[in-house]
Amino acid sequence: RKWVYTFGGGKAEGSSADRDHLGGKGANLSEMASLGLPVPPGLTIVSDACAHYYSSGKRLPDDLKAQVLAGIKAIEVETGRGFGDVAHPLLLSVRSGSRTSMPGMMDTVLNLGLNDQTVEALGHHSGDARFAWDSYRRFIQMYGDVVMGLDHEVFEEILEDEKARLGHELDTELSAVEWQHVVSLYKQVIEQELEVPFPQDPDVQLWGAVGAVFSSWMNPRAVTYRMLHKIPAEWGTAVTVQAMVFGNLGSTSATGVAFTRNPSTGEKELYGEFLVNAQGEDVVAGIRTPQSITEAGRIDSGSDKPSMEKLMPEAFAEFQAICARLETHYRDMQDLEFTIERGKLWMLQARSGKRTTKAAMKIAVDMVAEGLISEEEAVMRIEPSSLDQLLHPTIDPRVTRHVIGSGLPASPGAATGEIVFTAEEAVAAEAEGRKVILVRVETSPEDIHGMHAAEAILTTRGGMTSHAAVVARGMGIPCVAGAGTMRVDLRQEKLIGMGVTLGKGDIITIDGSSGQVLKGEVPMLQPELSGDFQKLMQWADRTRRMTVRTNADTPQDARAARSFGAEGIGLCRTEHMFFEGDRIHVMRDMILAEDEAGRRAALDKLLPMQRSDFTELFTIMHGLPVTIRMLDPPLHEFLPKTEEEIDEVANAMGLEPGFMRRRIDALHEFNPMLGHRGCRLAISYPEIAEMQARAIFEAAVSAARETGAAVVPEIMVPLVSLKGELDYVKGVIDRVATEVMREAKLEISYLVGTMIELPRAAIRAHVIAEAAEFFSFGTNDLTQTTFGMSRDDAAAFIPTYQRKGIIVQDPFISLDFDGVGELIRIAAERGRRTRPDMKLGICGEHGGDPTSIHFCEDVGLDYVSCSPFRVPIARLSAAQAAI
């Protein structure tokens, strides 16, 4: 069985097509090697070996060792060095990488192969002893941390103490002898703390590192990341073992990261940062402030440190050419890692760059114009749920800003919240429903859960490619990074900037688009949608088959949804109209009435109110379909709950509180979700259905007269499980329709249909379809009733289910394809058997969820309906589902 794929010297056994086995990093290194780009030779152990490692009690496959050794032989031949050779030592990096990139989640070990002998040889051979000892101390520190499990802070403390003792400020100021001393201190602390010596045998080092990379797949931050990004644990990680190249070999050496286009704006310009005489993660770690790669970038950031373009013009030119080549090759914006060793450029990683939604739109639209991708590909390039980002508020430009600091505009959007200084506090505050800004010197992968809980992130150290910046852009939350003028005092829990000292709980506003940090709360503007957005949406609309409607209960909702491109209303919940203003009093009169006559008197008052709402909705939707659901919730939902409320309402209505209590008791239900609601109300109190039907038809008449557009109301009867129920309510509706049309002398066409939200209705769909002219899947209730699980109570146990691996997705967020989905399939198929041209739609929360929308496309629904702000997401998802 082939566990190992080699690359280097202009060829490779794998390619970017093998990312499922080689991981993204390994696959792209192979691809770049095949393209003839300068890639240090190496080998990749496939991720299946990781799966094997876990399924066999953390043992590596038997035949793996020989294959790796053969691969290392090839690296030795290519580099002319020997692994463990005391004259010409080959040093290796051991790198992790799964199918999808999990930046910084797993561990890397650099400079592997160094020991007390090879370090001397490295110094001798390079003519730079300082470099050799610097590399050795880096190796011990990484290996000690990643493989041996000693906290990296132990090493950092030693280094800080040494620097203080020697009077150095920067790492680069330490001499060979001084580093040598640090190395001896590092080795001492390992022996002291772990009671084993630092391993000198390169083979032992290698297998230790490979094992550690596999183990890092299961470390808590990687597990959290996978949960958040829905990455299955079975995938495992590949391991790449690669010859080292050195960015820490003096002033003609450097290491850096770059994007082929600006990841914030999408502008077509090379964008990146580098550090001279540095290695590995120095750039992202924020140890020194990195320099811009391009001259333009340097000028933009107002930095006086020379750009790579100026400092290393040849390497820069070569890098620029490679960027162009890789973009054309992969037909996407690339995120690249590189190192320059004594003027020679080496490529260390290529992957599709993470970007803001705004940048994603611009890049997709630009690439269509450049002829790199098709319109359909452009549509596929945008993650539908990321459109939320475009809907972020921005600070009203007219207000005066009380700026207390500024940093890099690392992730766009503005947000206000209380200051917290730790991830834990952020999580706790979110659980209490408070909005917080996470303020850190810098963030690390351990902070992920806190970043998720925060409205925005502020760091005082690090660049545009720092951990905080990358992660915030990915999450779509605003971030200001590297606000160097501000200071965080963690011990005192203070944030200090421009003479202002703020503490935990104080309110600040972060403007991730300008990089400013403001004191207090600031008025915000709602976002406008760009030309790129409009263009992509046009392409999406051209591609999709399903239409997208909205769930709108009020004229405001309906207007917003129209502006987002909704093509009708899929669900108008009429009960919401009864809560507005003093309508609730009339509603209560109706509910508390002791007989039909009393109810009718109250309903007569409600009629004009409902009619005017419907008229407005019909007018806004101007001939587009509008689905109106008959009253659904149990009546007691409209009545007061607490004793004080009851007294108050009774008083206001001029009723005896005791009488009120008796009525409330009479309406009490043990399980309201399965109680006297939906069509059951219309059957008990047909006068309510009559009033609603009359309001709808009279509104249709007046809207049709006003707008001249034909209004086709679709009247939806909720919670039907028996055909007889629908027959009865439909009888009421049809009778009222006939009356209104006779009175108005105007023909209105309308449909009467039902929600499919009970398992019995789904199974008996062929029978119900004899009466129903359309079905709309009410997947919230259908999920509740299929699982027998109440949505409002599920929060108590769903997260536990997820943690224990019993379910992956909350079925109330993403449709349960296997169970609820099966019922939808059955109902769609049986319904259409009876009524082939029957219109089918979905109106539950799932109508705005991208994966659920794919399912709806599969089943052949005609439309999805979702909340107004999700309409663009649904339009895009529906297009992607159709491609």
The CA dihedral of 74, 79, 80, 81, to the nearest 10 degrees, is: -90
Q: Report the catalytic residues.
A: 467, 843
| Of 532 and 714, CB closest to Mg ion | 714
Q: Find how far residue 663's CA is from the centre of its chain.
A: 48
Residue 149's φ and ψ, nearest 5 degrees, are: 80, 20
Beta carbon of residue 337, minimum distance to Mg ion (angstroms, whole number): 5
User: CB-wise, 130 or 677, nearer to Mg ion?
Assistant: 677
Shortest reach from residue 237's CB to Mg ion, in Å = 13
Considering the complex, what minimum distance in angstroms separates the CB of residue 44 from ligand ADP? 11
Q: What does 862 bind: Mg ion, ligand ADP, none (CB cut-off 5 to 8 Å by kind)? A: none
Select 110 or 856, whichever has its Cβ closest to ligand ADP: 110
Which residues, other chains included, contact 641 with Cβ-Cβ below 8 Å and sequence gap of 6+?
Answer: none
What is the footprint of ligand ADP within residues 270-289 (CB under 6 A)? Answer: 280-281
Which spans in 708-846 are helix H?
A: 723-744, 759-763, 765-768, 779-787, 798-803, 820-834
Radius of gyration of the chain (CA): 33
Query: Which amino acid is it at 613?
Result: D
108 lines the binding site for ligand ADP (CB under 6 A): yes
Structure tokens, 857:
């496309």
Strand pairing partners for 489? 494
Nearer to ligand ADP, 222 or 719 (CB): 222
The pattern of x and - marking residues 298 through 337 that bind ligand ADP according to CB under 6 A reads: ---------------------------------------x
Integer distance in angstroms from the first to the last C-alpha of the chain?
37
According to DSSP H, which parts of 708-722 are helical? Answer: none
Q: What's the closest the beta carbon of residue 208 comes to ligand ADP, in angstroms?
A: 17
Nearest approach, Cβ of residue 212 and ligand ADP (Å) = 13
For 277-413, list the strands marked E by DSSP: 291-292, 334-341, 344-352, 394-395, 403-406, 408-411
Minimum CB distance to ligand ADP smaller for 347 or for 879: 347
Both tokens assigned to 39 = 């890639």
Task: Using the rule CB under 5 A, give the single segment among 26-34, 144-152, 400-408, 755-763 that binds Mg ion.
Answer: 755-763
DSSP 399-421: SPP-EEEE-EEEE--EEEEEEE-
Count of residues of this chain found to bind Mg ion when the rule CB under 5 A is applied: 5
Residue among 260 and 880 whose Cβ is closer to Mg ion: 260
Q: 871-882 and 850-859 helices cross at what angle (nearest 10)?
A: 50
Q: Which two tokens stand for residue 612?
A: 């005017």
* Segment contacting Mg ion by CB under 5 A, of 135-143, 169-177, 189-197, 329-337: 329-337
Min separation Cβ 245 and ligand ADP, Å: 4
Q: Which residue from 746, 718, 732, 563 is spatially nearest to 627, judged by alpha carbons?
A: 718
Site string for ligand ADP, 215-244 (x = CB under 6 A): ---------------------------x-x
Among 67, 98, 180, 255, binds ligand ADP (CB under 6 A): 255
Q: How distant, in Å, are the alpha carbons of 350, 356, 525, 689 from that of 396? A: 39, 21, 5, 46
- Per CB under 6 A, the segment of 104-112, 378-386, 664-672, 801-809 that binds ligand ADP is 104-112
Contact segment (CB under 6 A) with ligand ADP among 53-61, 102-110, 454-462, 732-740 equals: 102-110
What is the 3-state secondary structure of 493-524?
CEEEECCEEEECCCEEEEECCCCEEEECCCCE
Query: Which parts of 557-586 interact with Mg ion (CB under 5 A)?
Result: none
Q: Cβ 183 to ligand ADP, closest distance in Å? A: 20
Mask: binding to ligand ADP, 37-76, rule CB under 6 A, as x and -?
Answer: ---x------------------------------------
Q: What are phi and psi of 469, to 5 degrees?
A: -65, -45
Q: How far is the CB of 281 from ligand ADP (least distance, A)?
A: 6
Interface of this chain with ligand ADP, residues 338 to 357, rule: CB under 6 A: 339, 348-349
| Dihedral pair phi/psi, residue 822, rounded to 5° | -65, -40
* Least Cβ distance, residue 93 to ligand ADP (angstroms): 3
Site for ligand ADP in 1-40 (CB under 6 A): 40
Where residue 277 falls (left for φ over 0; alpha for ψ -120 to 50; beta otherwise) is left
Among ligand ADP, Mg ion, none, the one that 108 touches (CB under a kind-dependent 5 to 8 A) is: ligand ADP
**Measured CA angle at 778 (ends 772, 783), to 5 deg:** 130
Which residues lie closer than 8 Å to 828 by C-beta, 6 or more apart? 765, 775, 840, 859, 860, 861
**Minimal distance in Å, beta carbon 335 to ligand ADP?**
10
H-type helices in 622-685, by residue range? Answer: 643-653, 657-667, 679-684
- Exactly one of 757, 816, 845, 857 binds Mg ion (CB under 5 A); that residue is 757
Q: From ligand ADP, Mg ion, none, which one binds at residue 110 (CB under 5 to 8 Å depending on kind)? A: ligand ADP
Cα(58)–Cα(36) distance, integer angstroms: 37
User: Which residues inside 480-499 make contact with ligand ADP, applying CB under 6 A?
Assistant: none
Site track for ligand ADP across 649-688, x = CB under 6 A = ----------------------------------------
Please choose, from the candidates 830, 829, 860, 826, the residue with its C-alpha nearest in 3D space to the C-alpha of residue 842.
860
Closer residue to ligand ADP, CB minimum distance, 103 or 819: 103
Q: Nearest residue to Mg ion, using CB?
A: 781
DSSP letter (8 states) at residue 57? T
φ, ψ at 174 (rounded to 5°): -75, 140
Given Mg ion, ligand ADP, none, residue 260, with its beta carbon under 5 to 8 Å by kind, binds none
Least distance to ligand ADP, CB of residue 139, Å: 12
Cα–Cα distance between 250 and 176 in angstroms, integer?
13
Binders in 55-114 for Mg ion, by CB under 5 A: none
Least distance from Mg ion to the Cβ atom of residue 650, Å: 31
Q: Among Mg ion, ligand ADP, none, what does residue 93 contact (CB within 5–8 Å per kind)?
A: ligand ADP
781 binds, among ligand ADP, Mg ion, none (CB under 5 to 8 A by kind): Mg ion
Candidates 110, 249, 756, 798: give the one binding ligand ADP (CB under 6 A). Answer: 110
Number of helices (H), then strands (E), belonging to the chain: the values are 34, 32
293: closest CA among 279, 280, 305, 278?
305
User: Strand 291-292 to strand 271-276: parallel, antiparallel, or no bridges (unpaired)?
Assistant: antiparallel
Smallest separation (angstroms) from ligand ADP to the CB of 40: 5
**Per-residue binder mask for Mg ion (CB under 5 A), 340-379, x = binder:** ---------x------------------------------
Backbone φ and ψ of 296, nearest 5°:
-60, -45
List the beta bridge partners of residue 569. Answer: 550, 626
* Structure token digits, residue 551: 């769930």
Rounded to an integer, what distance in angstroms lies between the CA atom of residue 746 and that of residue 750?
13
757 binds, among ligand ADP, Mg ion, none (CB under 5 to 8 A by kind): Mg ion
Select from ligand ADP, Mg ion, none the partner in contact with residue 473, using the beta carbon and a kind-dependent cut-off of 5 to 8 Å.
none
Contact window for Mg ion (CB under 5 A) among 326-334, 424-432, 618-626, 749-757: 749-757
Closer to Mg ion at the Cβ: 725 or 757? 757
Stated as kind and residue range, the H or E segment containing 268 is none
Minimum CB distance to ligand ADP smaller for 257 or for 480: 257
d(CA 374, CA 493): 52
Interface with ligand ADP (CB under 6 A) = 40, 93, 95, 104, 108, 110, 242, 244-245, 255, 280-281, 337, 339, 348-349
Using CB under 5 A, list all residues that contact Mg ion: 337, 349, 757, 778, 781
